[in-house]
C-alpha cells in the first residue's frame, strides 16, 4: 500500500527554530518549501528535499499550510505583507514569539486577506522539536487547527487553548516568566556560591534538589491564589521579609550584585507594610496584579 499523500507546507524563517520545524515537516513526509532572508541557511534543508523559494510570496503560494517562525512580530508583518497577494486560501500558523495583542492584530490582518490564522507558542528549544518533551500551544482559528493538527504534531504535543488568538501568547509568555524566574534564581545563587569559592558544578546538584522540592509547593500556592486564602503554611511573609535582609547583606559581603533579588525584597516589604505579614507568598500575586491600566506599586516598575 502506498503512503498517504501529505499536503504541501511552507516554512518562513530559517533561524535555528525554523530549521528544526522545517526538518520535522520533511521527516513527516510533507512536500516542504522554505524561505529565509539570508539564503545560505536553506542549504542543509535543500539537501534533504526542501524546495527553496526565492521570495515570501513564492513560498506562501507553494504551501497550503504556512508556518511562520521569524524573529518578532514586526518582521513577521513585514514578511507576510510581501506575500499578501498569495495568502488567500492558506492557513497561517505563526510560531513567532509575540504578545497577545500582536497575535489578535495579526489574526485580523491574515483573515482579512482570505486566509485562516492560528497563533502558537513553542515551549521547547530547537533540539527538542519532534521529540517527546516538546509542547506547542495553539489558539485562534479552531477549524484551521483541527484541519492541521496531525501535521502540527510533527513538532511535538499540539495543545489547543481556545479561539482567542491571544491565548497561546499569554500562556507562552507566562511560562517564559516562570522559566526566567527559575534561571535568574539559579544564576544569582551560582554567583554567590562561586564568590564563596565553590565550583558551580559542585553546587548544581544541591540547587536542583532544592528547587525540585520547592516545585512541590506550586499546586498548594495555586490553590491559595484561587481561593484567596493565603495561610502561608508555616512560612509567613513577616518571617521571610526579616530573613531576606541577610541574603542582601551576604551579597554585599561577597561582592555579588543583588539586582535580581532586590525586587523580591521590595515586594515582601510592601506586602508586610500592607498588613499581609502573617500570610504566605501566594498573596504576592494580588500585589503584582494591578489590572491592565493599574499603576505599578511602590515596589515595582512596569515594562
Given the rule CB under 6 A, which residues bind ligand FVH?
13-18, 36-38, 41, 69-72, 75, 79, 96-97, 122, 125-126
Nearest to 263, CA basis, from 230, 296, 226, 291: 296
**How far apart, in whole angstroms, are the C-alpha atoms of residue 34 and residue 200?**
41
Q: What is the CA radius of gyration of the chain?
A: 23
As a three-state string, the secondary structure of 111-158 is HCCCCEEEEEEEECCHHHCCCCCCEEEEEECHHHHHHHHHHHCCCCEE
Of 187 and 222, which CB lies nearer to ligand FVH in the complex structure?
187
Closer residue to ligand FVH in complex, CB, 81/233:
81
C-alpha pair distances (Å), 4 with each of 1, 46, 56, 75, 156? 9, 23, 28, 35, 21
Shortest spacing between CB 83 and ligand FVH, in angstroms = 12
Measured from the CB atom, the residue of 131 and 199 that comes closer to ligand FVH is: 131
Residue with Cβ nearer ligand FVH (69 or 193): 69
- Nearest approach, Cβ of residue 247 and ligand FVH (Å): 31
Most distant CA pair in the chain: distance in Å?
73
Degrees (nearest 5) of the Cα angle 259, 174, 112? 130
Give min distance, CB of 16 to ligand FVH, in A: 4
Closest residue by beta carbon to ligand FVH: 15
Nearer to ligand FVH, 72 or 108 (CB): 72
CB of residue 303 vs ligand FVH: minimum separation in angstroms? Answer: 16
- Shortest distance in whole angstroms from residue 133 CB to ligand FVH: 13
* Residue whose grid cell is 541574603: 247
Q: Rounded distance, CA 54 to CA 284, Å?
A: 52
Please state the closest distance from residue 288 (CB atom) to ligand FVH, in A: 24
Nearer to ligand FVH, 35 or 148 (CB): 35
Amino acid at each position: 500500500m502506498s503512503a498517504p499523500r501529505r499536503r504541501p507546507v511552507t516554512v518562513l524563517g530559517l533561524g535555528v527554530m525554523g530549521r528544526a520545524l522545517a526538518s520535522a515537516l520533511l521527516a513527516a513526509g510533507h512536500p516542504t518549501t522554505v524561505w529565509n532572508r539570508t539564503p545560505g541557511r536553506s542549504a542543509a534543508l535543500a539537501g534533504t528535499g526542501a524546495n527553496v523559494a526565492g521570495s515570501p510570496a513564492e513560498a506562501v503560494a507553494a504551501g497550503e499550510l504556512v508556518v511562520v517562525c521569524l524573529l518578532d512580530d514586526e518582521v513577521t508583518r513585514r514578511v507576510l505583507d510581501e506575500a499578501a497577494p498569495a495568502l488567500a486560501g492558506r492557513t497561517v500558523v505563526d510560531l513567532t514569539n509575540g504578545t497577545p495583542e500582536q497575535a489578535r492584530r495579526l489574526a485580523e490582518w491574515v483573515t482579512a486577506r482570505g486566509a485562516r490564522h492560528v497563533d502558537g507558542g513553542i515551549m521547547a528549544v530547537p533540539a527538542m522539536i519532534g521529540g517527546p518533551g516538546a509542547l506547542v500551544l495553539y489558539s485562534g482559528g479552531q477549524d484551521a487547527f483541527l484541519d492541521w493538527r496531525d501535521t502540527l504534531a510533527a513538532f511535538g504535543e499540539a495543545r489547543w487553548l481556545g479561539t482567542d488568538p491571544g491565548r497561546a501568547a499569554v500562556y507562552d509568555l507566562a511560562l517564559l516568566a516562570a522559566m526566567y524566574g527559575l534561571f535568574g534564581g539559579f544564576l544569582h545563587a551560582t554567583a554567590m556560591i562561586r564568590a564563596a569559592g565553590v565550583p558551580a558544578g559542585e553546587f548544581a546538584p544541591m540547587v536542583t534538589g532544592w528547587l525540585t522540592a520547592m516545585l512541590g509547593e506550586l499546586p498548594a500556592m495555586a490553590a491559595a491564589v484561587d481561593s484567596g486564602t493565603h495561610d502561608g503554611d508555616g512560612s509567613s511573609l513577616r518571617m521571610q521579609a526579616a530573613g531576606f535582609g541577610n541574603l542582601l547583606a551576604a551579597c554585599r559581603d561577597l561582592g555579588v550584585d543583588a539586582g535580581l533579588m532586590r525586587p523580591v525584597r521590595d515586594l515582601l516589604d510592601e506586602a508586610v507594610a500592607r498588613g499581609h505579614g502573617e500570610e504566605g507568598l501566594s498573596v504576592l500575586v494580588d500585589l503584582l496584579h494591578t489590572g491592565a491600566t493599574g499603576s505599578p506599586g511602590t515596589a515595582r516598575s512596569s515594562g
